[in-house]
Amino acid sequence: MQQPLRIAPSILSADFARLGEEIQAIDAAGADYIHVDVMDGHFVPNLTIGPLVVKAARPYSKLPFDVHLMIAPADPYITAFADAGADIITVHAEAGAHLHRSLQAIKATGRKCGVSIVPSTPAQALAHVMDMVDLVLVMSVNPGFGGQSFISSQLQKIQEIRSMIDATGRLIDLEVDGGINPQTARQVRAAGADVLVAGSAVFSGNPEDYASNISALR
């Protein structure tokens, strides 16, 4: 069953010199999650942040920290991100040979457990872990950089995963990340998404604009 829509601003597009203030601003503007993109320059072609930044940012909001690990291997860092304050930890199906083990490691920390797939990975790759996850994240751009254009072929995949989730009878978030703006937000919501990750579409303009930016996505 599709759940109420939630907006997860990606702090990848925030002003890192004012990160705490930016997190407070999107919290006040009506965000539902704080999305944290962790990139290693290996699994994806960019470097971002680690557990120390998550720990430093944690006091600035009581919203769930939705931590997306675009790193390989991910397993050695799961506990560190949990201890830093992550509420949801998502790993990539493509990041290692033993996805089931990675999801077990997340569950062992007591945090919510997510799995993500890149645009070239079919929905069926998730068939045998749907009983474990709390969140499925569909990348609608190739991961690594913000500000990319939405890949429209992912709409069919979102629909397929929506059917897979509904077949479980469980409440699993279906999150979409990449190229989300007011126009594509309508499309992915219609395809079955529950959670929209948006970076530049939220952090556009001044902090006083963030509330209207989030409202436009809703």
Question: Quick check: 143 pLDDT over 90?
Answer: no
Active site residue 37: yes
Which token pair is 37? 């993109």
Which token pair is 9? 């601003």
Please write the tens of the pLDDT for every residue from 36-78.
Answer: 999 999 999 999 999 999 999 999 999 999 999 999 999 999 9
- Domains of the chain (ranges; CATH) run 6-217 (3.20.20.70)
66, 134, 177, 194: the catalytic one is: 177
* pLDDT band at residue 151 under the 50/70/90 scheme: very high
State how far the Cα of 41 lies from the Cα of 144, in Å rounded to an integer: 8
Active site residue 66: no
Peptide bond connecting 73 to the previous residue in cis, omega within 30 degrees of 0: yes
Question: Quick check: 146 pLDDT over 90?
Answer: no
Please write the tens of the pLDDT for every residue from 7-28.
Answer: 999 999 999 999 999 999 999 9
37, 134, 173, 194: the catalytic one is: 37
The pLDDT of residue 110 is 98
pTM listed for this prediction: 0.96
